[in-house]
Amino acid sequence: MTFKQLEAFFWVVQLGGFAHAANKLATTQSAVSKRVQELEETVKTQLFDRSQRTARLTEKGEEMFFIAKRFLRQREEALEQFERPEVVERRLRIGMTELPAMTWLPRLVNAVQSRYPKAHFEPDVDDSFSLREKVLSERLDLIVVPDLFEDVRLLKTRIGAVRNAWMCKPGLIDTKSKLRVHDIAQRRLLTQGQLSATGVLYEDWFKAAGLEPVERITSNNLVAIIGMTVSGLGVSHLPVHCLKPMIDAGLLQVLHVTPVVPDVPFVAVQRADRRSTLVTDLVRLARDCCSFDRPFQAATESA
């Protein structure tokens, strides 16, 4: 019995298929299948019931899954105790939403590559809820998302916050009088929708006032929302500091609305049962790099 065999078997079960396991292990599906077969031959027990259309674990397969999980975790913990960062060779899979990607991702990439020069950094940019599912299924080691959901299976560390404001094309809205939430609700809203944690935050903001926006355009692409706002298609809630150059250039106008939408806290999230020295260090690097002040920050900039 080898760690490669246990690893292949574990990820086939964990990810729900040989193809997913092969992608996770950066190998071929046939190689994964061979390792699983070798494991079955070693223990002289069938781990999968292949009589059905989809292979399912046998009773002994269920037992082997927990054994494999325990052995692999112990191996990872042992390696982390003795490995220096400069010799770590593994995939570092970090997911984040679009705003961190368009502000401080370059700085994070540089920080991770400087500390772990032999590691392979794989960023994944997606919506908050998709990222949550990916970290839960262990397709990602760590995610950076707005802190707007609770899950006992996850461990969160606050790393920063972003200040947003309602914005529109200059001249689209008369700003001589004070604006309130019902004034915004009467306008066409450009939002990121229910797949975005911030989209959910804005929905809650309107519901707290007993209002429902009369019209909206939904897009999960932040850059597209910025473009539509500049085009005068509606009103959106956008990050203030990183869009300051566009505000100063007269492309966007900040609307002062009461009550204000709270600042959005961002957290680094990992599985609560998969704590490790390596991921803890990645959280620290993310916290050090986190800054929403400027777009596409150079790797050498400080926060």
Number of compact structural domains in the chain: 3
Of the three residues 82, 112, 145, the one that is the final residue of a domain is 82
Co-location of 185 and 255 in the same domain: yes
Co-location of 257 and 170 in the same domain: yes
Question: Is residue 12, in this structure, part of any structural domain at all?
Answer: yes
Question: Is residue 190, in this structure, part of any structural domain at all?
Answer: yes
Co-location of 170 and 255 in the same domain: yes
What does the pLDDT read at residue 190? Answer: 95
What does the pLDDT read at residue 12? Answer: 85
What does the pLDDT read at residue 157? Answer: 97
Co-location of 105 and 55 in the same domain: no
58 three-state secondary structure? coil
First to last CA, the chain: 49
Rounded CA-CA distance 272/285 in Å is 19
Of the three residues 47, 82, 117, the one that is the final residue of a domain is 82
User: Which of 169, 268, 157, 173 shows the shortest CA–CA distance to 226?
Assistant: 169
CB distance 130 to 116 below 8 Å:
no
Full-model pTM: 0.75
Co-location of 171 and 251 in the same domain: yes
What does the pLDDT read at residue 303? Answer: 52
Rounded CA-CA distance 230/227 in Å is 5
Question: Is residue 179, in this structure, part of any structural domain at all?
Answer: yes
CB distance 213 to 206 below 8 Å:
yes
Question: Is residue 134, in this structure, part of any structural domain at all?
Answer: yes
Rounded CA-CA distance 55/98 in Å is 37
What does the pLDDT read at residue 201? Answer: 81
Rounded CA-CA distance 51/93 in Å is 35
Mean pLDDT, all residues of the chain? 88
Low-confidence ranges of the chain (pLDDT < 50): none
- DSSP string of 176-221? SSPEEHHHHHTSEEEE--TTSHHHHHHHHHHHHTT---SEEEE-S-
What does the pLDDT read at residue 253? Answer: 96
What does the pLDDT read at residue 85? Answer: 67
Co-location of 110 and 21 in the same domain: no
Query: What CATH number is associated with residue 169?
Result: 3.40.190.10
156 three-state secondary structure? strand
Co-location of 112 and 134 in the same domain: yes
Co-location of 148 and 32 in the same domain: no
Co-location of 135 and 200 in the same domain: no
| Residue-range definition of the domain harbouring residue 244 | 164-262
What does the pLDDT read at residue 302? Answer: 54
What does the pLDDT read at residue 81? Answer: 62
Question: Is residue 219, in this structure, part of any structural domain at all?
Answer: yes
Co-location of 136 and 274 in the same domain: yes
Give the model confidence (pLDDT) of 65-97 as tens digits. Answer: 888 888 887 777 776 665 666 656 678 899 999
What does the pLDDT read at residue 160? Answer: 96
CB distance 286 to 95 below 8 Å:
no
| Element at 142 (helix H, strand E) | strand 142-146
Co-location of 112 and 154 in the same domain: yes
Co-location of 270 and 206 in the same domain: no
- Residues 210-223 as b/e (b if ≥16 CB within 10 A, e otherwise) read eeebeebeebbebe
